[in-house]
Amino acid sequence: MPPRLRKLALVAHVTSSVGWLGAVVAFLALAVIGTTSQDPATVRGVYLVMEPTAWYTLVPLAFAALLTGIVQSLGTPWGLFRHYWVLFKLLINVVATVVLLIYMGTFRSMAHRAADPEAELSSVRDFSPVLHSVLALVVLLLAMALAVYKPRGVTPFGQRKQGAQREGRSAPGAVSVPQT
Amino acid sequence: MVDPSQEPATRKTADGTSGSATRAGVPRWVKAGFVALVVVLLFVIMHLVAGPGGHGPGSHFGGQAPPVGVSAPDGPSTGGIG
């Protein structure tokens, strides 16, 4: 991948990943408000707005982070399956995205309860978004730490690739190509 | 995210080979990470298929509005209809 394109992919990935993290922080704030506010309108409003907001922010950002991460890793020497830290980031992203999609049903249930004027406030309040937001934060921060620290560890696939590259470079008459 | 300035080609040992490639076996943090991942996945699966009293199979797939006039028991639920 040309350097300029690689940097563009990096910008896209960082933007979507940090954006996803920020959206989760905002959801955590909403969830805390939902469980602590004494104003019935505020409590109901929180759970009514969570579902559409998640569809417009969390889900697109999750997929954007996943896709840009895949594109970027495939365009760099790190690869997608050669280093464990990249592999773990991929797994974290995929699992978090799947869990998010499943959780959209819970958002819908909470919104239905909040919209029911007969439902008591105590039944509308739900601690689940608080718990899930905290867990999501932990997972996304872990992915961010992996991206920054890049702990060592090459997968068997990566070792085979490196071995093939070394054999190619050491072969008689081989021409070394500078890494870009 | 991948920082081009720290690409594997620039991380060489004194003999010129990649340090990560010369280490045999799976690093300890990878083993711990896989164990943690399996635990999390098991927890998620159990959370989804838990029987009555906890989270039912449809607890996270819910979309059914509660009947008008029927209110849920007091106290916060743990994740939706279940």
- Is residue A102, in this structure, part of any structural domain at all? yes
What gap in Å lies between CA A101 and CA A120, rounded to an integer?
A: 28
Best mutation target among A133, A154, A169, A176 (most B Cβ atoms within 10 Å) is A154
Stretch A104-128: mean pLDDT: 94
**Boundaries of domain holding A141:** 3-166
Query: Residue ranges of the domains in chain B?
Result: 26-51
Residue A52 has pLDDT above 50, yes or no: yes
Report the alpha-carbon distance of residue A113 to residue A122 in Å, rounded.
11
Q: Is A30 domain-assigned? A: yes
Buried b / exposed e over A1-39, threshold 16 CB at 10 Å, is eeeeebeebbebbbebbebbbebbeebbebbeebbebee
CB-nearest partner of A99 from B21, B44, B58: B44
Mean pLDDT across A76-98:
94
Length of chain B counted residue by residue: 82
CA distance B60 to chain A (A): 5
pLDDT for position B65: 46
Structural domain includes residue A97: yes
Q: Is the pLDDT of residue B3 over 70?
A: no
Segment B10-18 shows an average pLDDT of 45
Q: Give residue A8's pLDDT band: very low, low, confident or very high (50, 70, 90).
A: very high
In terms of CA atoms, which chain B residue is nearest residue A91? B37
Assign A114 a pLDDT band (cuts: 50, 70, 90): very high
| Other residues' Cβ atoms within 10 Å of the Cβ of residue B6 | 13
| Total of domains in chain A | 1
Q: What pLDDT is recorded for position A125?
A: 95
Establish if A3 touches chain B: CB-CB under 8 angstroms.
yes
Looking at the domain assignment, is residue A175 inside a domain? Answer: no
Query: Which residues of A, range 78-117, sit inside 8 Å of B by Cβ?
Result: 78, 82-84, 86, 88, 91, 95, 99, 102-103, 105-106, 108-110, 112-113, 115-116
| Chain-chain contact of B64 with A109 (C-beta, under 8 angstroms) | yes
Residue A173 lies in a domain: no
Q: Report angle CA B23, B25, B28 to the nearest 5 degrees.
A: 100
Mean per-residue pLDDT of chain A: 91
All residues of chain B having their beta carbon less than 8 Å from the beta carbon of residue A119 are: 66, 71-72
Tens-place pLDDT, residues B24-74 = 678 999 999 999 999 988 988 888 787 434 444 455 555 444 444 444 444
pLDDT at A161: 87
